Structure 1
Amino acid sequence: MSLSRRLLLAGGVASLAARGVRASGGDFAPSAASLARPAAPMRSAAGLAITDAQGANVALADYAGKLLVVNLWAPWCLPCRREMPSLARLSDRLSGQDALVLPLAFSWQGAIGVRRFYQETGIANLPVLIGDGDNLKATLGIEILPTTVVLDGDATHIATVTGEARWDDAATLDWLAGLI
């Protein structure tokens, strides 16, 4: 069964549990810095399939020279929902630096589901980006949500954080500052 189909099936069940859940902001999750592991092997993420809220293709080359914190998530995934507010706060903290947070959603509802989640949680500073599960597996070998990949300025996968994490704590900010 393809990753997209597995995500769709899991999402149907999880969406029932996720209704009405307000994100806590990942305040009790471990620091992303403590969960970070070097990418092995380091590979290019340039072929990652991404579309924006209007369905237009987005190329990672558009972000050349910037450190990218690419969060792979889904609105029906409870750990994903809990960590998203801390990623939004991280995005604010990275403002003006050569680094960006790009949340890449895998949702059968597409942009509508992402916008609804952002509205429910008061997130207004993150873009609506949609990924393709089969492409994600082929490009980076990732099948678990949430997972966050850190890409260097050439879109090379340099680090991975698997599972729910806190993204706006001092240790994580220091770790990311060392990568910029």
Structure 2
Amino acid sequence: MTLSRRALLAGGLASLAARPGAANDAPSAAALAHRVTPGTDAAGLAMTDADGTPVPLSAYAGRLVVVNLWAPWCLPCRREMPALARLADRLAGHGIPVLPLAFTWQGAAGVRRFYREIGVETLPVLLGDGDNLKATLGIEILPTTVLLDGSATHIATVSGEATWDDDATFAWITGLA
């Protein structure tokens, strides 16, 4: 199932109202981040890979995980994704995966097309379910990025467009690991 029409409309309107500048005009993700206390259990967050195979968060047990919630139609998502890919490349050496979880009616082909359009080659294709997202984390606005600890507990959130490839964000995330 996908995001509800109301959530899609709200997200689209939020995208239109978002900062018009390029991603490098967006604040650092570290500056926008806020801790979630008490942390909420995100183990039920549904993800599937490009082939439709479920990807359980338990596959990442014991590791900090960065989950970016986005959609191809979301302008702020489009602007921040290249910086998120650069962050993913940096974090890979520290064992911290970045999982871009897409919400789109276009499926894996739409995500691959989006990645090609913006020049992203290294991020995985992962698809989410909007109803599951709302039920699990209570999130309806895109982009939102959540950090999950090694027990799949939601410990931090960055809402809205952010700069992901700056040193402050890298230090913040690696400091949580």
TM-score by length of 1: 0.88
Question: Which of 83-92 and 41-50 deviates more?
Answer: 41-50
Seen in structure 2, the aligned counterparts of structure 1 residues 75 and 7 have a Cα distance that, compared at 3 Å, is: farther
Q: Distance in 2 between matches of 1:108 and 1:42?
A: 30
Q: Per-residue displacement from partner, 1:99-137 (whole Å, max 9, x unpaired)?
A: 110000000111111100001111111000000011001
Seen in structure 2, the aligned counterparts of structure 1 residues 9 and 36 have a Cα distance that, compared at 3 Å, is: closer
Residue segments in structure 1 that go unaligned for 5+ positions in a row = 18-23
Could you list the runs of 4 or more consecutive aligned residues of structure 1 that deviate by over 4 angstroms after TM superposition?
Answer: 7-14
Q: Distance in 2 between matches of 1:142 and 1:10?
A: 12
1:140 and 2:137 correspond: yes
Which residue number in structure 2 is paired with residue 131 of structure 1?
128
TM-score by length of 2: 0.89
Which residue number in structure 2 is paired with residue 21 of structure 1?
none
Which residue number in structure 1 is paired with residue 19 of structure 2?
none
Which residue number in structure 2 is paired with residue 175 of structure 1?
172
Q: Per-residue displacement from partner, 1:122-175 (whole Å, max 9, x unpaired)?
A: 111100000001100100011110000000111110000000001110110110
Q: Per-residue displacement from partner, 1:48-102 (whole Å, max 9, x unpaired)?
A: 0111101111100001111111000000000011000010000111122121100
Which residue number in structure 2 is paired with residue 36 of structure 1?
33
Please point out which of 58, 61, 86 is paired with 1:61.
Answer: 58
Contact preservation (8 Å) 1:71, 1:103: yes
Contact preservation (8 Å) 1:65, 1:98: no
**Which runs of structure 2 are paired with 1:19-30 in the superposition (5 Å)?**
26-30=23-27
Which residue number in structure 1 is paired with residue 88 of structure 2?
91
Seen in structure 2, the aligned counterparts of structure 1 residues 91 and 167 have a Cα distance that, compared at 3 Å, is: same
Q: Distance in 2 between matches of 1:179 and 1:88?
A: 19
Which residue number in structure 2 is paired with residue 81 of structure 1?
78
Identity of aligned residues (%): 71
What SS does structure 1 have at the residue aligned with 2:40? Answer: coil
Q: Distance in 2 between matches of 1:32 and 1:166?
A: 6
Matched letter for residue 4 of structure 2: S
Matched letter for residue 118 of structure 1: Y
What SS does structure 1 have at the residue aligned with 2:69? Answer: strand
Q: Distance in 1 between matches of 2:141 and 2:13?
A: 16
Q: Distance in 1 between matches of 2:9 and 2:158?
A: 24
When the two structures are aligned, how many residues end up with a matched partner? 172
